[in-house]
A and B are shown apart, each in its own frame.
Chain A
């Protein structure tokens, strides 16, 4: 019987980590992810896990220790946010290039500067090219479920990549919600043993990891790494099917909400999708054909599937909770437009930057976006396609 509980997003992640019982957790405190290593170190102190908890002196060392531990042959996890993720940057790329399936809980927070502890997506969006798989979570249940699937995805022999499970700082990390947990033994069976093919502490095969790799070979290695990311899509879907059998909860590359016949739609990531769904419901009651596409898997980016899902939409808003400073829109906007180009041309598309530095995003704001889309549909005029919502100007 599944266990009904009330947990915050951070607690849900920590519980998933306890149930997985990894070999090493190396982490450094940073708001709003701090609670994860706090809860976890309590599990260690109480003997509820057999994990070696490494309380490192920085996030750079957290990711470095994860690399050492995973390469040595241990299943390894960490948690961080914002500047902590930024301090890991160099080593994120190294973990991915070494094909080390480290799992990270990334509790999204605005990246300095200015210093701000609240939610936006500028941290993980900046890491989108680091070679990590990125899964996003609307609520605590999804954060928990993604964390359980992440280990399986990353460790799959066709993938062998690190995975970042993202959720919104404070909004879901600190808000207590109802959640359905699985029993420990079911998770143990689902996640299984970590059995790496090559690792440092294999007495039968000594290996060397992390060479100087010059032009004669480096390109081939990057190509192989890219193939792992290409392979990940199918693995993510296969594991979602398995997870659904176990829990009844269905996961895909993204969620389509009332999208099938939608004429106006938005693409959005993480907790604001929840707010937006209530707006969609309200508009539907008014007879407006509104829909929503919520990204779950941002890396690998499900380009063709998104184009197929949006093909029939007349007017689209791409919602970015991160400024890309490209002067033409945010990072999600760039990928969505690229997905549509040549695949689903003719959709009038606008980009909104919203909620930076934890600016509250209300249903009114989302409704304004849909009203804007309806106006564009009515007049046929897009106007500015790079906009802000909720900012004082």
Chain B
């Protein structure tokens, strides 16, 4: 059935409003869209790594989750949800459960690219029937905007500050989506909030209803860390995609597929300019840094096109 935003939006909310996430944060629409991809009759056990999403949606005695939810620690949501899925498998085998449960783990880039990478890798390798969603806001936002291995090069963060000698973070962003694709699990997708959430929703549906482990890497901008105007959330995501900074693609059964090719690939400046974290790059003396970033994006885009047989 063709994607219909109105119909999808009419599905019941499984993460209610009233939580404490910031205005203009990408994470709540990511979670809500993913949970809407559940069939109405299905239940989910959701988990979150310690982070903004967790502390803002489950502050005792309130929870915004309408599905059963567990938070344990920062680095272990992959293992935690894999354990819940294992219990489900055993209880079904013993004939004690017949309800349809789905298992979804959410982690930020800190809890996924960095401290939780081992736990994630283990859970995926073991083949649990679960989805791991990284809402990638490209820094440790919950502790106050520290750099992670998901932070892009030259971004200004509180532990990779731009100063008189260094222009922000010194390393390129880790390509986690490709790392997860190298696990050769049934489904890996990279997406963000664009085009009425269509790409995100459809990938969530595939991820949830593909048997076995699935991984989704979702760019989820953070207005505090990225320093953009809160109403610009969707525009920033669109620019990430149209500049090919964050291409939309999926790897299904080992086949790489590009989901969106911009008609006109925009220069990286268009994406960086509205974000305060890159402001210093627009000083005259930093022109060569912009050129370096553009070159890197071009190289990675060409590489992706080759992998997706689009070159």
Contact = CB atoms under 8 A, between A and B. Distances in A.
Contact of B84 (A51, A200, A208, A217): A200
A346 B284 CA distance: 82
A267 interface: no
Contacts of A209: 68-71
A201 B71 CA distance: 15
Contact of A64 (B54, B79, B97, B99): B79
Contact of A72 (B54, B83, B123, B126): B83
Contacts of B123: 61
Contacts of B68: 200-202, 206-209
Interface stretch (B59-67, B146-154, B214-222, B261-269): B59-67
Contacts of A51: 90
A201 B97 contact: yes
Contacts of B47: 68
Given A72-B83, A76-B83, A23 B70 contact: no
B194 interface: no
B45 A72 contact: yes
Contacts of B83: 24, 26, 54, 64-70, 72, 76
Interface string B18-45: 0000000000000000000000000101
B304 interface: no
Contacts of B119: 57-58, 60-61, 64
Interface in B66-83: 66-73, 75-76, 78-83
A211 B59 contact: yes
A203 interface: yes
A381 B307 CA distance: 82
A91 B73 contact: yes
B273 interface: no
Interface string A45-60: 0000011101111101
A196 to B, nearest CB: 11
B58 interface: yes
B94 A69 contact: no
B291 interface: no
Contacts of A65: 79-80, 82-83, 86
Nearest to A95: B72
A187 to B, nearest CB: 17
A324 interface: no
- What interface size band does chain B fall in? 35 or more
B71 A68 contact: no
Nearest to B80: A68
Contacts of A70: 83, 87
A90 B87 contact: no
B121 A68 contact: no
Contacts of B69: 200, 207-209
B66 A206 contact: yes
Given A23-B91, A58-B118, A201-B84, A64 B73 contact: yes
B122 interface: yes
Contact of A74 (B91, B99, B101): B91
A61 B72 CA distance: 11
B86 A61 contact: no
Contact of B91 (A26, A201, A203): A201
Contact of A68 (B54, B79, B91, B118): B79
B6 interface: no
Given A68-B70, A200-B45, A201-B45, A74 B87 contact: yes
B159 interface: no
Nearest to A74: B87
Residue among A61, A74, A202, A207 with most chain B CB within 10 A: A61
Given A64-B76, A70-B87, 5 more contacts: A61-B122, A67-B83, A68-B47, A72-B87, A90-B73
23 contacts: A24-B87, A26-B83, A52-B90, A54-B82, A56-B122, A58-B118, A61-B118, A62-B79, A64-B73, A64-B76, A71-B70, A72-B88, A76-B83, A91-B76, A94-B72, A201-B45, A201-B84, A201-B101, A203-B43, A206-B43, A207-B69, A209-B69, A211-B59
Interface of B: 43, 45, 47, 54-55, 58-61, 63, 65-73, 75-76, 78-91, 93-94, 97, 99, 101, 118-119, 121-123, 125-126
Interface of A: 23-24, 26, 50-52, 54-58, 60-62, 64-74, 76, 90-91, 94, 98, 200-203, 206-214, 217-218
